[in-house]
Structure 1
Amino acid sequence: MTPIVRDFRPDDAEAVAAVRRAALPFMVTTPEGIAFEVDQASPAARYRLLVAEEDGEVTGTARVGLAHQSPTPGQAFVNAYVHPGHRGRGAGSLIVTTAEAYLAGEGAAQVYSWVLDEPHFRTFAERRGYRPSRPAHFLRLDLSNGELPPLEEPPAGYELRAAADFADDPRPLFEAEAECTADEPSDIAAELDDYEDWLADTWSHPDLDRDLTMVAVADGKVVAFSAARTDGHTRYASGMTGTLRTHRGRGLARLVKNHSLHRARAAGCTEAFTGNDADNGPMLAVNKWFGYDICATEVRHVRELG
């Protein structure tokens, strides 16, 4: 039967999560997180979560929207996933076509998409007019059997806290993330300048574990952090690890991430995942120090609309 594409409904959350886990098992995905991202998306993002359905079964999905945090207007994204058992039946093409038509109507000039660095996926993207841009890696660390570096005390003048300690006023975390995000290598620059949007989208995300998210503080100011997301069971993912420019080169990224990983293992997590742009040498070196191995590579592709 020919697949159809429609908008996400709340009762799709479990099925969409299953598709994403099967198509991209290197990310932490939960039904609660998927539903939350739809409900809390910024109006400026014009966000849609598309669902491909065949014979009543969800077989594919796509995250679609405008890069509203970019200072460059007209940039958009579509990240599509089809369950491995249902590929080759037209769901992927139909999802992408639907997404592109929607984004064109919203004024998008460029559409960016992450594509697994495998012949099938790259051919699919290139046939649709997408050209490859920059690569990024997924990395995995075995927390059940692998050895973590021993815990170290923070350098003189620094102290460690959990993000949960900032529950009454998380703005210092927002300010630190905003500076670190501006320095991340990417095709799409991002400027975090809306605190209320960050509170709704990031701080309140159900997958964020504030007890496992570790923060370094100096003179009362947040200077480094390692954000942690989990599936509530055994899978842990680094949301972002960053250090303010004036405090880099002191091992703070390793410090906060190491304490976060130790806490995650003690909480029962058995797998840790993270992702790094291929040009992000400092974080790739940090993750190599922990023992992370590259488990997959994506290449960002871009297509000019119109």
Structure 2
Amino acid sequence: MIPLTASNYAANVHNRSQETPDLDAIKRYEAKADSETILHKFGMVTAKGNMIGFGMFVMGAWDPVLKPGYAEVTINVDSKWQSHGIGSRMLDEIEILAERHGADSLQTSIKDTDERSLDWAKKRGFSITSQTFESQLSITEFDTSQFDASFKALNSAGIRFTSLAEYPQDEVSHNRFWNFWRELVSDIPGMADQPLPDNDRMNQLTQDVDKNGFILAVDGHQWIALSMIIKETDTTYYNSMTGVSRKYRGSGLAQAIKVKAIDYALQNGATYIRTHNDSKNAPMLSLNEKLGYRQKPGQFSLVKHFN
């Protein structure tokens, strides 16, 4: 087991299994960390430089935000090397780090189709806290005009659609946006007890993101719904969040603003949109299905608490 960084990766890892990260992934992890982040990454590497396992321990400033006392952990083992004690060895190291840094809980995620890893985690004290589904929409043949009547009705009611890009790109507008985002996120199933980044952190995380994809529904001067869609690759966009103010729910706004997000992705040459939803968020899962999203295997979130 060796510590892994972007600077020593090439010297130590000559081959890797698909379950372990490449150099670009290591760089992304390091880019997410700041001066307040506790980040440990290590690989299980054979004498020939084959990485057959990877572990990671994170506390402090991170994305998504961690609860106080919680550490985000990752344990991945090459399928051909499972049942050889490699995962347990990495968990032992992680628990040493947890004690050293004062963590009282470990959180992780496992694909809901990976019964072997799920069983392994449960036997080592982890328990399931939630389930999240990924859905994907092919938009190459998506016809937004089929929703023209819905938009006409909303426009007649005085509701218009815009984006954060249409507002001054200053602290006032950005704070207003993130305060509104926070209000809506707190109503999403599975998010009520989750810590959220402050406005400065959200501005930092999204400073290079096109604000035309931060779509808003407006009634007069009041923001009443939003949908955030972000470029991942040249062909894939990610719909990270959609929400509607309580007073305006049931009016078709959620569907309308998601269609606006789809239209934005189409205008930018995307062919697919991805999103995630908690299994308890039945209304949004139903809406996604109506729009043509196809559900993919999801993942379980798990936690292990120390006494």
TM-score, normalised to structure 1, is 0.77
Separation in 2, partners of 1:188, 1:9 = 36
Q: Could you tell me how far apart the structure 2 residues matched to 1:235 and 1:53 are?
A: 32
Q: 2:130 aligns with which of 126, 129, 134?
A: 134
2:193 is aligned to: 189
| Counterparts of 2:147 and 2:81, CA distance in 1 | 45
Report the Cα offset of residue 109 of structure 1.
Answer: 1.5
Kindly indicate whether the alpha-carbon contact (under 8 Å) linking 2:55 and 2:73 is maintained by their aligned counterparts in 1. no
Residue type of the partner of 1:178? R
Change (3 A) 1:49 1:270: farther
Q: Quote the residue 1:226 is aligned against.
A: 227
Corresponding pairs, count: 289
Report the AA paired with residue 233 of structure 1. Answer: D
Q: Return the letter of the residue paired with 1:265.
A: L
Match for 1:197: what amino acid? R
Q: Does 1:173 align with 2:177?
A: yes
CA contact (8 A) 1:63 1:80 kept: no
Which residue does 2:267 correspond to in 1? 266
Distance 1:187 1:267, change over 3 A: closer
Call closer, same or farther: CA 1:8–1:145 in 2, change over 3 Å: farther
1:275 and 1:23 map into 2 onto residues whose CA distance is 21
User: For the Cα contact (< 8 Å) 1:70–1:188, is it kept in 2?
Assistant: no
CA shift for structure 1 position 76 = 3.1
Provide the rounded CA distance (Å) in 2 between the counterparts of 1:63 and 1:183: 29
Seq. identity, %: 22
- Per-residue CA deviations over 1:232-258 (Å, capped at 9, x if unaligned) read 311111111112223322222222211
Q: Which amino acid aligns with 1:179?
A: E
Any residues of structure 2 matched to 1:1-306 within 5 Å, and which?
Answer: 4-9=1-6, 31=24, 35=27, 38-39=30-31, 41=33, 46-48=37-39, 50-52=41-43, 54=45, 55-56=48-49, 60=54, 62=56, 64-66=58-60, 73-81=68-76, 92-117=87-112, 118-145=114-141, 150-152=146-148, 153=151, 154-155=154-155, 156-166=157-167, 167-168=169-170, 169-186=173-190, 189-192=193-196, 194-201=198-205, 203-204=206-207, 206=208, 208-306=209-307
Instruction: Report if the CA contact (8 A) 1:151-1:259 is conserved.
Output: no
In the alignment, the residues of structure 2 paired with residue 242 and residue 165 of structure 1 have an alpha-carbon distance, to the nearest angstrom, of 19
Please give the secondary structure, in 2, of the residue aligned with 1:301: strand
1:279, CA displacement in angstroms? 0.3
Change (3 A) 1:162 1:116: same
Question: TM-score, normalized by length of structure 2?
Answer: 0.77
Q: Flag structure 2 segments of 5+ consecutive residues without an equivalent.
A: 11-15
CA distance in 2, matches of 1:218, 1:175: 17
Which has the higher Rg, Structure 1 or Structure 2?
Answer: 2
The answer as to whether partners of 2:161 and 2:215 remain within 8 angstroms in 1 is: yes
TM-fit CA distance, 1:265:
2.2
Q: Which residue of 2 aligns with 1:27?
A: none
